[in-house]
Chain A
Amino acid sequence: MFEIKDLHVNISEVEKKIISGINLKINPGEVHAIMGPNGSGKSTLSYTLSGKEGYEIEKGDIELDGESILDDEPDERAAKGIFLAFQYPIEIPGVGNLSFIRTALNSQRKFNGKDELNPAEFLKILREKADFLNVDMEMLKRPLNVGFSGGEKKRNEILQMALLEPRFCILDETDSGLDVDAMKQVSKGVNFLRSENRSFLIITHYQRLLNYIKPDFVHIMAKGKIIKTGGPELALEVENQGYTHLLN
């Protein structure tokens, strides 16, 4: 179980409070969606959960199975099963995609006391998942995300998620910038990964993604707080009426 308890977060650089008291309990197998206007703190929340530097926790806790992960480094959180699909996946010239994904997978296996995969074993698994997600193997031989289209970058995130098999997946506006076909691909990946011991936090600005990935709960976030929680019908309400009526 993943739990966010009365979380307050400041961005150290600008000494600005962005998250002001969030409570969220996510049980295994559940899919939660967070919707909210731009600037409401959704990405800040996702970075804070994955342990990025510069996000100062003023108050509150983040727990995985009842244990705080606040002292864990980003790589330790990842190895414990937290995965963030970035809103803006970055390009890293000079780092090969394949060797990056293999190092990531083997680092996590090592952390969890499992044997590392040799290149052949790794390639076999990678090929399977890439095929399923329609990711071109040739593309993966290039440096990490370099020269990838927006859609390719997002699909690469989902591919990494499929390979790393995390327990708690955060998708930060994975749908933004995708056309309908690409969004279907991404949703197919997510739905395939849905299982009773894996949970999702899906951040999105639009309701349309939730037509493909059916959430159990929908939360509306504004000004660093969750202001309303409901079922999928809440997403439709936002779609039809916008956020303004909820904000007042």
Chain B
Amino acid sequence: MVFENKNSHWIDAYTRKFEESFKSINLLDNKKEYWRFASPLIWHDKLPIKKFQETRSSQSLKFDVTKYSFLRFNDGILDTETLKKFINENKNIEICSFKDIFLKKDHWSSLKFSKAQLKAEKSYERPLALFNGFNAGDGVFIKFKKGVKKNLHIIYEGKNEKNNCIRNLFDLEENSEIKVFEHFYGNSKYNIVSELFAADNSKLEHCKIINQDISNSVIYHFFGNCKKNSKIKTVNFSFSDNPVRNETNLYLEGTNCETTVASMGFGKKETSICDNTVFISHQEESCKSRQIIKNALKNGAKAIFQGKIFVDSKAQKTDGYQMSNGLILSDDCEFLVKPELEIYADDVVCSHGSISGTLNEDHLFYLRSRGIPLIEAQKKLIQAFYSEILDEVSEDNIVYYIQNQISEMITL
């Protein structure tokens, strides 16, 4: 441990550690398997960040305010008004901005902070998550107490020209049932780390939408530790014309966990890269994990899926599933896939597959033979391609919102 002095905060020790680790990594080393298809520099370049420009405003996502609590980040900083309102409305939830943790000598999060990230670092080093570790300017730390049910909607917006590093921590106590929807729009660049601690029997539905008007890159690390009987679902939607990397790392540390990682990306420009890098580690018996990844690509867009299922020798009766699909709408697009299974237990069912192709001509003809014009028929089939991902979302207004976004993007 680092020596104490009266000005030093418990987080400082972590910060220093992250910085040291980060500096020991050569980001130009392109031999790393983990960055085989896309260099970290894509999300960490020294290139000037694109200046703010007013883009056509996307239709906003409306939630029933009686069912949802809101938090808003503006240029990477948690808006204090929404935070105050949240505190007033939710007595059984502990919440604190990351910035304010530095003002507190003790905080419940000191027992959890970085634990999920550091566990994941053992299997691969994640330089940009390390970078976040000593650059995060704000974030939100939330403890959902035992049995709490809560729906939360977090908005990230802004127009600054900085790399916004944000750090969140979600602590779900036993039997809590939480939905978190994160929505990105505006022109900022993001490097986000969210840690999740899911206690026994807790349930999380996490859904993230990256709008098409995001004019800079986003890298989002989601590190989760899942205990007995927890059910964790994370669903990602990306419509960005810029690089997006979703890194999802879930450690299933209790028996009977169920996890789903579902992602869809719609790339319509050469500059668009949708990268899903997923690592699911089965540490205990009888856990289920599913990964469903779908990317539709046109005009030179690129998508990447690196998905690994690791099964420890203790993790008998693991049920692991992984499927990725690419819908290639023009010849100049690429969907690069690297599935991996690493299994040390013998009583295990794990399957994986990847299929890419164009729109099915017979399907198109069938729809058109009923009078549906080509573009509408394409729209229907692209929506059908994504339907499996949309089926994972429990909120109808999100489903409609996504369907509209898809529909808008096809006509573009």
Which residues on A are within 8 Å of B, measured CB to CB? 50-53, 73-75, 78-79, 83-84, 86, 89-90, 92-95, 99-101, 103-105, 107-108, 111, 143, 160, 164
Contact = CB atoms under 8 A, between A and B. Distances in A.
22 contacts: A51-B369, A52-B369, A73-B368, A74-B365, A75-B368, A78-B369, A78-B370, A79-B371, A83-B370, A86-B366, A86-B369, A92-B366, A92-B384, A94-B384, A94-B386, A95-B367, A100-B380, A101-B370, A103-B376, A104-B367, A108-B371, A164-B371
A75 B377 contact: yes
Nearest to B373: A75
Given A75-B377, A103-B372, 10 more contacts: A75-B369, A83-B369, A83-B370, A86-B366, A94-B388, A95-B363, A95-B367, A99-B380, A100-B370, A143-B384
B367 A100 contact: yes
Contact of B366 (A79, A90, A111, A143): A90
B11 interface: no
B221 to A, nearest CB: 31
Contact of B383 (A78, A94, A160): A94
Given A75-B373, A94-B387, A104-B372, A52 B365 contact: yes
The listed residue with most A CB atoms (<10 A of its CB), out of B361, B368, B371, B376, is B371
Interface in B341-386: 361-363, 365-374, 376-377, 380-381, 383-386
Interface string B74-116: 0000000000000000000000000000000000000000000
Given A90-B363, A103-B376, A95 B370 contact: no
B98 to A, nearest CB: 40
B384 A107 contact: no
Nearest to B387: A94
The listed residue with most A CB atoms (<10 A of its CB), out of B368, B377, B381, is B368
B64 to A, nearest CB: 22
B213 to A, nearest CB: 27
Given A90-B362, A103-B376, A160 B370 contact: yes
A140 to B, nearest CB: 14
Nearest to A77: B369
A107 B381 CA distance: 16
A75 B371 contact: yes
Contacts of B380: 95, 99-100, 103
Contacts of B370: 75, 78, 83, 100-101, 104, 107, 160, 164
Nearest to A94: B384
The listed residue with most A CB atoms (<10 A of its CB), out of B366, B369, B370, B384, is B370
Contacts of A107: 370-373, 376
B371 A104 contact: yes
B362 to A, nearest CB: 6
A84 B371 CA distance: 11
B353 to A, nearest CB: 16
Nearest to B384: A94
The 5 A-B pairs with the shortest beta carbon distances in the complex, nearest first, are A94-B384, A94-B387, A78-B371, A104-B370, A108-B371
B35 to A, nearest CB: 33
A45 B381 CA distance: 27
A106 to B, nearest CB: 9
Given A53-B361, A53-B365, A75-B368, A93 B373 contact: no
A74 to B, nearest CB: 4
Contacts of B361: 53
A111 B370 CA distance: 12
Contacts of A160: 370
The listed residue with most A CB atoms (<10 A of its CB), out of B367, B369, B385, B386, is B369
